[in-house]
Structure 1
């Protein structure tokens, strides 16, 4: 096992290739340990070089609505009036703290995503 830090894109690609070779290695074996270490190094490299921005709050709400089959009419209980739902989903009004709490409790959307 010759594991080194991933410093370049070439190192990254070689590590990905090695993980593919080791995939399915049994836990608590030399290959399994190598796989665990490489995955950790790859994750660290990706977080630094390919960060994923948090989703847009309104997109997150729309996604959850789609996932759960919730209509705009049903969103009234989380956002207020039908007019308020329309304003929020059309980005004409921002979410209030009360709305954020309601969406977190009712739809399980993480508050950190809703805080813009």
Structure 2
């Protein structure tokens, strides 16, 4: 019996919808069919419930830059070259300076880091000395 589409109000509703959704993985519905529409609607319901009940933490811009560097095999010197300054790269990676809008645009364009991962505020550390 197919899952009856309704607002997911609790964990039991969520689990039942998830089980129904996963059954479609074994037998993919024909595009444009009633089953395909049901599959899409289930996915939307699940996504809404997950957004409300399991929100993702805000992205940390410095960690996003470090992740991109690691994924692409880049070093701090590559960031320095991209930003035009060794000291700026160091200050950003050590959380002594925030990314500027032009730097965010450059990182988005050149390293394909989503802007949404770079725009959140983050704590800065104080220089010691």
Tell me if both proteins adopt one fold, taking TM over 0.5 as the criterion.
Answer: yes
The answer to whether the 8 Å contact 2:59/2:116 transfers is no
The two structures have a TM-score, normalised by structure 2, of 0.78
Q: After TM superposition, what 4+ stretches of structure 1 lie above 6 angstroms from structure 2?
A: none
Q: In the comparison of the two structures, how many residue pairs are matched?
A: 116
The two structures have a TM-score, normalised by structure 1, of 0.86
| Cα separation, partners in 2 of 1:29 and 1:98, compared to 1, 3 Å | closer
Matched, 1:29 2:33: yes
Structure 1's unaligned 5+ residue stretches are none
For 2:61, the equivalent position in structure 1 comes to 57
Structure 2's unaligned 5+ residue stretches are 122-129
More helix by share: 1
| Cα separation, partners in 2 of 1:21 and 1:97, compared to 1, 3 Å | closer
Pairwise CA RMSD: 1.7
Q: Distance in 1 between matches of 2:103 and 2:5?
A: 49
